[in-house]
Chain A
Amino acid sequence: MRIAYVEDNLANLALVRRVARMGQHEVESYAEAEAALTALGQNPPDLILVDLQLAGQMDGLQLVSTLRQQGVQTPIVAVTAYAMLGDRERCLEAGCNAYLPKPLPVSELLALFETHDTEKSAARGERTGG
């Protein structure tokens, strides 16, 4: 499965890469929303993880709503250290499918990858079957 992680913190990126190794998932990363927007629009991955605070001008939520406006259907999960009241609602409103506050329990991250991988495989199976 191809996972795109839009994140400017190298330690967190390394952690996700580490966890992704378990399911042999491929992780491509973007430190800025602008770079992610071009790349993800052209070649959407199977799952997108987005941090809210990014290096560029655009923040994570702007990226998500722009992607949704462009018609990108890929599941997006907000992964953020913004864990105050209302942050979850803000993320879901912008077009995220789920919200995971940091620090992420590794087991939850694993479960997330597994779920989407299964879904992806099922979708592929359907496509090849049909």
Chain B
Amino acid sequence: MSTTQTPSVSDTQFAQEVRTDRLSLLWQVTLAAAILLIWVALTISATHHLVSFTWLAVCLIVVAGSALTGWLLRRNFYRAAVWCYAGGIATAISLMLYSPPGLVREAMPFAFPLLVFIVGLLLPPTALIWLCLLIGLIVIGVPALHDQALSIGPHQALALLFTGIAALLTAQAAGELYTIAEWALSHYRRERERKLELHQSQIDLKKALARAQVLAENLEQANTSLASTNVELERARATAEEAKNFRGKFLANMSHELRTPLNAIIGFSETMLHFPEMYDNVPLPPEYQRDMEQVHISGQQLLYVINDILDLSRVDAGKLDLQPCVMDLEPIFKATLTTATGLIGDRPIRLLRNLPKTLPPVYADPNRVRQILLNLYSNAVKFTEQGSITLSLTSADGDVVIGVTDTGCGIPPEEHEIIFEEFRQGRAGLCKPSTGSGLGLAIARHLVTLMNGRIWVESEVGVGSTFYFTLPRAPVEEIPVPDQRASVLERT
């Protein structure tokens, strides 16, 4: 039994409570028995005169002992209560032993094993030792006191022997009983705790379930409102899509309707100016020719405006599809300079290159880089009477900085920003009346921004301007694909 776990303090307390209950029942039963005995004794003595005063006294002592036990128990003096109970019984037995030798004196000591048994169940084994010593004293001492001579009879010896055996057995049995009881109790308590926990869990579960139901309801509501929001969103999206389509259609139509008459304007002015063979070699009179040149230039101008507006609207609509790749700048530079040569005509402007021997590959859309450069060059050519236009390239951090420097009339600082805005031109009055839609730089800025670059101008009035823009350098490990180069050349 020692292998079982030691009971906890609370288990011991619980065991104590159980013992208190037992004792409480015991003294009440004893009290009742004693009172019953008194009543029987009184009844019998009333008719037969057989009951002595001793019997009544014994019963009264038991009654008093039991009552005192109850009183002590109520005040939580458990140990004292047990001793009081035992004392009452022992005193009662002693009183009966205090009699002349006879049946009573011989029989009474045999009541002690019972007392030992009871006390053994209620108190620890050490208490039994004391009780046994007390009983020994009583069994031997009280008859001797009565007879005024010490003599131990076989009954006394036998009763003492039985008492001793009872004490031993009770101590042993009680020990085991307590261990078992405490073990059972601890298990019972644990069971009860588990039951409580289970109960609590059930309550929690119910609460959680209720909460989940509420949540589910909320979720359902949210879903419903989300669905309606989605419908509205879808409607708004459809409207926006419709507007976008309408806008696209409008732009396509506008482009078509403007290009159709422009075809005749530009085409005929060109044939009249440059192809006299088509007119049976009848030359255009010089004045007609000058005017026709104006018609041709104006027509070209209008075409650029249309193209620029279409480009801008594509940027606005997010439809300008960039196809960035690892690209080589050399073919683009070459093509741009060729076009610029055509733009310059016979003006005394030199095209210079200030470039490193090997150009770093950049990550950008070749067609758009070409467009940016063309815009910058046509700008530079437009505002430069003589001197040079220089193309430069430097590397900074992860970027490549490309510059187009002209020796034109320059731009005052307050106009460095507005020239990049749509339909804005700077330098009013400073330079010759400028042609152009005023969209070239705005488009260049959009394109550069879309390719993760920056564009800005540095300029001094009367000296010239440099337009710079950056392009991200291609990652080092990537090698430019020859195909890209080929396609760029083809488009040029």
Contact = CB atoms under 8 A, between A and B. Distances in A.
A105 to B, nearest CB: 7
Interface string B353-388: 000000000000000000000000000000000000
Interface string B251-284: 1100111111111111110110011011000000
B88 interface: no
Contact of B274 (A85, A103, A106): A106
B256 A53 contact: yes
A105 B263 CA distance: 9
Interface stretch (A15-23, A57-65, A69-77): A15-23
Interface string A89-115: 000000000000111111000000000
A84 B255 contact: yes
A46 to B, nearest CB: 20
Contacts of A21: 277-278
B264 A12 contact: yes
Range of interface residues on B (Cβ < 8 Å): 20 to 34
Contact of A12 (B251, B258, B260, B271): B260
B255 A106 contact: no
Given A15-B268, A15-B271, A19-B278, A104 B263 contact: yes
A121 interface: no
Interface in B66-85: none
Given A18-B278, A84-B252, A102 B268 contact: no
Q: Does more than half of chain A's interface fall in helix, strand or loop, or is it mixed? A: loop
A122 interface: no
B164 interface: no
A72 B255 CA distance: 32
Contact of A81 (B256, B266, B267, B275): B256
A104 B278 contact: no
Contact of B299 (A14, A101, A103): A103
B267 A101 contact: no
A83 B254 CA distance: 11
A103 B259 contact: yes
Given A81-B255, A102-B260, 9 more contacts: A9-B260, A14-B264, A14-B268, A15-B271, A18-B271, A18-B278, A19-B278, A85-B321, A104-B267
Interface of A: 9, 11-12, 14-15, 18-19, 21-22, 53, 81-85, 101-106
